[in-house]
């Protein structure tokens, strides 16, 4: 951890120091020249630190990859890591660039001429930035897919911007401190020019840091649960908490102290310069703390891959309004007040006079608005609320969940549309209606918590000691399917203007020895899933077979599933009816069990778009739907492309 921090901090510091020399321009006078020599010495020390911490980090990485600490000192093991891993290749490139940079910094070259000075300083800055590339190429960004190259470029831009700003602060503080002293008065015009140029560069760097930090954070911490419920997310919060005071300090320095330096007069602004030097040093120390947090983050599993543990007993969700619709007006009024606060805050930014009082009023109004709007949105939350189901939302899990539900839950909750089973009598409160909308509004993690711990005040027992984790997730997946069953039955028979909202559970199906999954068609084709019953469906299936070529041309795959799950489904058609689209002979039973939540008809056709959402549902109980109409819908879907986020597989 310390080696990572030292490696990162030295890399960032090198970029800042080398760039500040270039930005400040060629030094004139005794003090400025002394400062330039000092910064060069500081850079040499940083290169040494970067090299040494790199060696320690390589040893630690070798020990980690080889599985025992002694490997850190074994040349063969180190060589394996260097030559056979991406991290090793990046390490070699970084050390080579550092060596080259060291050569430039150590060589006592003659830079009397302006062009030579610029060439030497530019090369140092360029090499320092180039040495950050391998850091980005060996971090979390390099391991993220898809979009690895973009993630690395974003990470590199973030590191470089941090280097230009945070890395330059110690050297800048040293210049200001030297110039603020009576003996260094000759360097004041130089220091004022340097700090002004640096300030512009830092402002641009902050813009880059924000622009690259947001996509980076969203990539690795995509949910609120991940932000407060994982170690990586909490480290990100600590980092942001440290960034805030550093930004406030930077803003104060730029708005208050920088103008007070007042021109290039040699005697001007000495006390201000001393104060500015102190505050810049505080900024630099905060920056070092941020780098320590970043080093810890680089050694922590990103929130994306960790199951979050929600630390609060409540969360905010619009689902709360489903149970208590009276709160809608309060939320509306509160959010309007919050917007008013935001408008006031924007006005405060534009104002010159009374800015502080207007900003304080804006904060008070926004807080009042949130105080009004948020309470009705609060609902109970549990440690598992944001846990991602480890078991995929597929028909095998749903079918297993239904079997477990019938055995353990139906005695109280009832079966099908019945709200109560025989054992519900005598309970303190009626069992929850699992078909009601609030069930749909809860997260899978909420359902898992209730299934595990129970609902003691309602008399519901927990099943944590009777069912395994996997079985409880199966029950949860069944409840998720049950929760959307009413809505699924209202899906239109023709493609309308509704946004897709209901994900089709994935399944594995076999046609003889060929095995495929519904998920394989995502991003490739639209699927018409046909649940059929012979002999009633025979004519319809033959009609689809006749138009199969045309439908295929427009990106449709038909998958037909016999509702009786007959393994000899193909033979039943005989040679007379030539059907060449997949007729499922393996896996039909689970598909029918799960999809029966969405239909009772003997023949149902679900049109599933390229993203895996149900779009239409037509049953044989409804008026006939000719293949021409189907073709129109398929063509519309083919032209539509992705119009919402792809549903998760879990």
* Least Å from the CB of residue 116 to other proteins: 4
Peptide bond into 488 cis (omega under 30): no
User: Using H for helix, E for strand and C for coil, what is the string for 106-123?
Assistant: HCCCCCCCHHHHHHHHHH
Residue 417 or 549 having the CB closest to other proteins: 549
Give the CA distances from residue 595 to residues 477, 498, 530, 575, in Å, rounded to whole numbers and listed in that order: 13, 21, 11, 29
Count residues contacting other proteins (CB under 8 A)? 31
- Residue 51: Cβ within 10 Å count: 17
Pick out residues in 558-587 that bind other proteins (CB under 8 A).
568, 570-571, 573-575, 578-582, 585
Pick out residues in 486-525 that bind other proteins (CB under 8 A).
511-516
- Member of 119, 204, 248, 343 binding other proteins (CB under 8 A): 119
Residue 116 binds other proteins (CB under 8 A): yes
Residue written as tokens 């078991």? 391
Compute CA 607 distance to the chain's CA centroid, rounded to the nearest angstrom: 30
* Least Å from the CB of residue 384 to other proteins: 38
Contact 377/331 with Cβ under 8 angstroms?
A: yes
**Mask for 215-234, x = binds other proteins (CB under 8 A):** --------------------
Residue 373 or 545 having the CB closest to other proteins: 545
Residue 100 binds other proteins (CB under 8 A): yes
Residue 78 or 569 having the CB closest to other proteins: 569
Residue 149 binds other proteins (CB under 8 A): no
**Mask for 519-558, x = binds other proteins (CB under 8 A):** ----------------------------------------
What is the distance between the alpha carbons of residues 137 and 87, in angstroms, rounded to a whole number?
8
What is the DSSP pairing of strand 514-517 with strand 378-380? unpaired
* Least Å from the CB of residue 99 to other proteins: 12
- Extract the tokens encoding 60: 């630690």
**Vertex 317: Cα angle to 307 and 450 (nearest 5):** 55
Contact 638/557 with Cβ under 8 angstroms?
A: no
Residue 99 binds other proteins (CB under 8 A): no
DSSP H stretches of helix in 107-223: 114-130, 133-137, 140-143, 148-165, 169-180, 188-220
* Least Å from the CB of residue 559 to other proteins: 12
* Least Å from the CB of residue 196 to other proteins: 27
Residue 52 or 111 having the CB closest to other proteins: 111
- Segment lying near other proteins (by CB under 8 A), choices 55-63, 114-122, 343-351, 617-625: 114-122
Residue 49 or 100 having the CB closest to other proteins: 100
Q: What's the burial of 605, exposed, middle or buried (CB within 10 Å: 0-12/13-18/19+)?
A: buried
* Least Å from the CB of residue 83 to other proteins: 16
Residue 455 or 573 having the CB closest to other proteins: 573
Residue 85 or 122 having the CB closest to other proteins: 122
* Least Å from the CB of residue 516 to other proteins: 6
E strand or H helix at 605: strand 604-608
Give the CA distances from residue 355 to residues 341, 352, 367, in Å, rounded to whole numbers and listed in that order: 14, 6, 18
Residue 568 or 626 having the CB closest to other proteins: 568
- Member of 110, 417, 490, 549 binding other proteins (CB under 8 A): 110
Residue 466 or 578 having the CB closest to other proteins: 578
Give the CA distances from residue 490 to residues 325, 484, 487, in Å, rounded to whole numbers and listed in that order: 23, 10, 5
Contact 50/131 with Cβ under 8 angstroms?
A: yes
- Member of 66, 123, 306, 433 binding other proteins (CB under 8 A): 123
Residue 259 or 512 having the CB closest to other proteins: 512
Q: Inter-axis angle of helices 148-165 and 2-24, to 10 degrees?
A: 60
- Member of 76, 115, 639, 645 binding other proteins (CB under 8 A): 115
Residue 118 or 275 having the CB closest to other proteins: 118
* Least Å from the CB of residue 630 to other proteins: 20
- Extract the tokens encoding 609: 């778009």
- Member of 122, 223, 317, 533 binding other proteins (CB under 8 A): 122
Q: Three-class SS of residue 615?
A: strand
DSSP-derived secondary structure letter, 561: E
**Vertex 283: Cα angle to 282 and 286 (nearest 5):** 85
Residue 27 or 593 having the CB closest to other proteins: 27
Q: Three-class SS of residue 527?
A: strand
* Least Å from the CB of residue 282 to other proteins: 36
Residue 108 binds other proteins (CB under 8 A): no
- Extract the tokens encoding 627: 């293949």
Give the CA distances from residue 603 to residues 384, 502, 530, 546, in Å, rounded to whole numbers and listed in that order: 39, 20, 7, 18
Binding-site ranges for other proteins (CB under 8 A): 100, 109-111, 113, 115-120, 122-123, 511-516, 568, 570-571, 573-575, 578-582, 585
């Amino acid at each position: 951890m310390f080696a990572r921090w030292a490696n990162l901090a030295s890399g960032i510091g090198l970029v800042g120091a080398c760039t500040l020399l270039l930005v400040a321009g060629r030094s004139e006078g005794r003090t400025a020249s002394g400062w330039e020599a000092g910064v060069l010495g500081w850079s040499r020390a940083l290169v040494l630190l970067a090299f040494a911490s790199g060696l320690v980090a390589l040893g630690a990485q070798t020990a980690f990859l080889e599985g025992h600490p002694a490997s850190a000192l074994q040349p063969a093991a180190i060589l394996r890591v260097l030559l056979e891993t991406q991290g090793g290749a990046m390490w070699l490139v970084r050390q080579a660039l550092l060596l080259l940079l060291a050569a430039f910094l150590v060589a006592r070259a003659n830079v009397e001429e302006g062009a030579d000075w610029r060439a030497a300083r530019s090369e140092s800055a360029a090499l320092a930035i180039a040495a950050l590339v391998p850091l980005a190429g060996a971090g979390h960004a390099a391991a993220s897919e898809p979009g690895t190259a973009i993630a690395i470029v974003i990470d590199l831009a973030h590191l470089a911007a941090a280097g230009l700003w945070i890395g330059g602060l110690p050297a800048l503080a040293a210049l200001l401190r030297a110039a603020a002293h009576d003996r260094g008065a000759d360097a004041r015009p130089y220091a004022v020019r340097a700090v002004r140029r640096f300030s512009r560069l830092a402002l641009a760097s902050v813009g880059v840091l924000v622009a690259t930090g947001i996509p980076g954070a969203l990539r690795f911490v995509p949910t609120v649960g991940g932000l407060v419920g994982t170690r990586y997310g909490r480290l990100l919060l600590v980092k942001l908490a440290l960034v805030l005071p550093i930004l406030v300090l930077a803003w104060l320095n730029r708005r208050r102290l920088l103008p007070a330096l007042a021109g290039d007069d040699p005697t001007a602004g000495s006390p201000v310069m001393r104060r500015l030097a102190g505050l810049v040093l505080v900024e630099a120390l905060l920056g070092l703390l941020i780098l320590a947090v970043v080093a810890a983050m680089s050694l922590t599993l990103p929130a994306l891959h960790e199951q979050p543990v929600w630390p609060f007993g409540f969360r905010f969700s619009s689902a709360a309004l489903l149970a208590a619709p009276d709160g809608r007006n309060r939320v509306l009024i509160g959010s309007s007040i919050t917007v008013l606060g935001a408008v006031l805050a924007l006005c405060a930014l534009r104002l010159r006079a009374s800015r502080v009082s207007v900003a304080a009023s804006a904060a008070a109004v926004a807080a009042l608005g949130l105080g009004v709007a948020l309470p009705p949105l609060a609902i109970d939350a549990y440690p598992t609320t944001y846990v991602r189901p480890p078991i995929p939302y597929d028909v095998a899990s749903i079918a297993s969940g239904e079997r477990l539900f019938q055995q353990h839950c139906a005695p109280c909750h009832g079966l099908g549309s019945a709200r109560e089973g025989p054992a519900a009598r005598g309970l303190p409160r009626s069992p929850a209606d699992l078909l009601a909308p609030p069930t749909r509004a809860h997260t899978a993690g909420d359902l898992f918590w209730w299934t595990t711990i129970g609902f003691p005040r309602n008399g519901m027992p927990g099943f944590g000691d009777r069912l395994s984790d996997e079985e409880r997730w199966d029950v949860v997946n069944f409840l998720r399917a049950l929760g959307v069953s009413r809505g699924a039955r209202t899906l239109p028979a023709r493609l309308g203007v509704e946004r897709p909202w209901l994900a089709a559970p994935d399944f594995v199906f076999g046609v003889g020895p060929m095995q495929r999954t519904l998920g394989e068609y995502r991003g490739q084709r639209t699927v018409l899933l046909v649940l059929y019953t012979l002999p009633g469906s025979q004519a319809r299936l033959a009609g689809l077979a006749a138009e199969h070529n045309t439908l295929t041309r427009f990106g449709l795959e038909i998958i037909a599933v016999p509702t009786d799950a007959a393994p000899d489904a193909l033979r039943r058609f005989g040679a007379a009816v030539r059907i060449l689209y997949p007729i499922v002979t393996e896996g039909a039973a689970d598909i029918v069990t799960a999809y029966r939540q969405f239909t009772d008809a003997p023949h149902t056709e679900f049109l599933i778009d390229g993203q895996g959402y149900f779009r239409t549902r037509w049953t044989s109980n409804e008026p006939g739907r000719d293949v021409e109409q189907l073709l129109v819908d398929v063509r519309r879907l083919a032209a539509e492309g992705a119009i919402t986020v792809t549903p998760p597989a879990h």
